[in-house]
Amino acid sequence: MAAGWRTTRRGRTGASRRAAIIALACLLGSTSGLAQSRAAPPRQPNIVILLADDWGFSDVGAFGSEIATPHIDALARAGMRFANFHVSGSCSPTRAMLQTGVMNHRNGLGNMPETIPDEHRGKPGYDTVMNLRVVTIAELMKAAGYRTYLTGKWHLGSDAKRLPEARGYDRAFSLADAGADNFEQRPIEGLYDKANWTENGRPATLPRDYYSSTFVVEKMIEYIEADRDSGKPFLASINFLANHIPVQAPDSDIARYAAMYQDGWTALREARARRAAALGIVPAGTPMVTMPTTRDWQRLDADERAAAVRVMQAYGGMATAMDREIGRLVAHLKTTGDYDNTIFVFLSDNGAEPTNPFASLRNRLFLRMQYDLSTDNIGRRGSFSAIGPGWASAAASPLSGYKFSAAEGGLRVPLIIAWPGHGAIPAGAINDGLAHVTDLLPTLAELADVPLHEGTWQGRSVEPITGRSLVPMLKGAAGSVHGDAPLGYELSGNAALFRGDYKLVRNLPPTGDGRWRLYDIKTDPGETRDLSAAMPDRFAAMLSDYRAYARANGVLDMPAGYTADEQINRYAWEQQGRKRAIKAGLWLGGGLMALALLVWSWRRRRARG
């Protein structure tokens, strides 16, 4: 709470100072841009995108969670919750689709650098970075007179042409990697050599009192205030590291959950399903599957249960810490008079993370050399922890699957859109029509009255926007803006085709068996009843639709035996191998240079003698 109070006080001080300047300007008969901007807010709305990392479908209180998220819940009450909103099964493809309104294979993120198999590297659509054939929301908004800012995780490219400031952002403090430590400038050990933070394209240093969620909000407030005199509206993209691995939170936030999670993940999954149904997020009595990767809680020994309870307490604390920072931002915007004219968008980039970094002995030995893995230290500075598949399944409740999979638990996440001072969005409404992450760019552009490009941008051909504006749904229209049109998806061999209320889906091991199945995800969001045999015509038609999507988007088949988990492990150990080779090369090179210097010195002394 102390950090929140400091920011609020700073905001009030700044507001008082600006008010004094405006009063003086009026006394002098001034018509300065600052006075005009304070007296007459911009007609176009400000836009704040709040992107959570690896939050499951029911991780928000307003979607059924026991985790305290009062400020996100307040935005839900002020706006609309989308209960049937879909993203990608992992972060970078979602982020690229959010930025561009273009499907992931067309924007370069057919796969991520950490999960792409060697056979796909360099193939069209598999750039592993956001390509230069797409236009970002920042570029569109900037051309329409917006100030554009980004803080936090980027993970869409780290070279000079692909960092945020090269893609339309006026100011950006960004992390190029998938994740990093939340308390210090430290990478995920084993996956990266360093935490690649930059500010406006230059290597940046984090403050000594850094905590990720606090920092990305404070930096965004700093950016907004630095350019306030311009009088322009702003686009603020805040990309949290919470709740990506490593799960870490302030001690006080972890302590909030000290009496919780003792009953285990199955009990939590059931409790969340009941709350989500009571809230109207899913149909009452929604059936659920038990994931094959979920262990029986009762068969864990006492030490395993203690560690599992502690990591979920840290996970809840991490989410609550992030929510508190969102509250600080909202409070600041209320103080400055911006709140009522700001559109807020909250979403997660994919479902909850099931990866267990400790599944192999090699990983455990390596991580023990890098971190304090004691149970008491879980979630604290110097720790490394992850919730694993059991809790990830609970975070997705009542859905099946989680991050990386094409099951609903991997693709369906919470979405909230609120415009508090505008009556067009019904307050507290829930929409169960199909929506997709590519729809957000055209939605925000329409709400802000910003024109979209139509396949050309500044004299060059670009990928056309494939998303559809959700404005009709925001105004209360029933159903989905996609109607009965097919909507395809693929990542790492896990694939889906949505059409109306139906979903065709295939998951590779370990969450599936590679077979296609058909579900009515409106009445059966838990994907428990396969309709492929009962609806053979629909099954065949949707399979044909998927194949057409795959051809049009250049989707490649995965190598035999591929899984995203194994590929991440392979990537990490390859990185370590390269790191050791470089070190060995440096030692060898240094030794040879020292030997050469000794020989040269000996010969010189001999010549003189």
In a domain, 559, yes or no: no
What does the pLDDT average to over 511-517? 94
Q: Which residues have C-beta within 8 Å of that of residue 95, sequence separation ≥ 6? A: 51, 130, 153, 154, 155, 156, 239, 349
Q: Which of 451, 479, 507 is the last residue of a domain?
A: 479
- Residue in 71, 86, 91, 332 annotated catalytic: 91
The residue to which tokens 């009965």 are assigned = 484
What does the pLDDT average to over 303-319? 98
Q: Which residues have C-beta within 8 Å of that of residue 466, sequence separation ≥ 6? A: 101, 102, 103, 106, 438
Clarify whether 91 is annotated catalytic.
yes
Round to whole Å and give the CA distance between 105 and 420: 35
**Enclosing domain of residue 589:** 564-609
Long-range contact set of residues 119-125: C-beta below 8 Å, sequence gap at least 24: 119/556, 119/559, 120/556, 123/554, 123/556, 124/554, 125/553, 125/554, 125/555
Answer yes or no: do 270 and 390 share one domain.
yes
CB atoms within 10 A of CB 457: 16
> Over the stretch 286-301, which tens digit does the pLDDT of each residue have?
999 999 999 999 999 9
**What is the value of pTM for the model shown?**
0.89
Clarify whether 26 is annotated catalytic.
no
Q: For residue 557, what is the DSSP state?
A: P
Q: Inform me whether the pLDDT recorded for 29 exceeds 80.
A: no
Q: At 259, is the secondary structure helix, strand, or coil? A: coil
In a domain, 154, yes or no: yes
Answer yes or no: do 180 and 48 share one domain.
yes
Q: For residue 501, what is the DSSP state?
A: T
Q: How many structural domains are present in the chain? A: 2
Instruction: Render 439-474 in DSSP notation, one character per residue.
Output: GHHHHHHHHTT-PPP-SEETTEE-PPP-----HHHH
In a domain, 503, yes or no: no
Round to whole Å and give the CA distance between 339 and 200: 27
In this prediction, residue 563 has a pLDDT band, given cuts at 50, 70 and 90, of confident
Q: Inform me whether the pLDDT recorded for 604 exceeds 90.
A: no
What does the pLDDT average to over 587-604? 63
The pLDDT of residue 490: 98
Lowest-pLDDT range of 88-102, 277-291, 365-379, 559-573? 559-573
In a domain, 519, yes or no: no
Q: Inform me whether the pLDDT recorded for 270 exceeds 70.
A: yes
In a domain, 296, yes or no: yes
Answer yes or no: do 308 and 201 share one domain.
yes
> Over the stretch 41-57, which tens digit does the pLDDT of each residue have?
557 999 999 999 999 99
In a domain, 502, yes or no: no
Round to whole Å and give the CA distance between 215 and 200: 16
Answer yes or no: do 465 and 590 share one domain.
no
Q: What are the tokens at 581?
A: 């080779």
Q: Which of 464, 479, 494 is the last residue of a domain?
A: 479
CATH classification of the domain holding 304 = 3.40.720.10
In a domain, 3, yes or no: no
Q: Inform me whether the pLDDT recorded for 34 exceeds 70.
A: no
- Residue in 155, 244, 332, 436 annotated catalytic: 155
Cis? peptide before 246, omega within 30° of 0: yes
Answer yes or no: do 475 and 569 share one domain.
no
Answer yes or no: do 436 and 576 share one domain.
no
In this prediction, residue 589 has a pLDDT band, given cuts at 50, 70 and 90, of low
Q: Inform me whether the pLDDT recorded for 595 exceeds 70.
A: no
Q: Which of 461, 479, 497 is the last residue of a domain?
A: 479
> Over the stretch 341-380, which tens digit does the pLDDT of each residue have?
999 999 999 999 999 999 889 999 999 999 999 999 999 9
In this prediction, residue 511 has a pLDDT band, given cuts at 50, 70 and 90, of confident
Answer yes or no: do 463 and 570 share one domain.
no
Q: At 198, is the secondary structure helix, strand, or coil? A: strand
In a domain, 522, yes or no: no
Better-scored residue on pLDDT, 503 or 38? 503
Answer yes or no: do 572 and 451 share one domain.
no
Lowest-pLDDT range of 21-30, 182-191, 429-438, 457-466? 21-30
Backbone angles phi, psi at 455, to 5 degrees: 95, -5
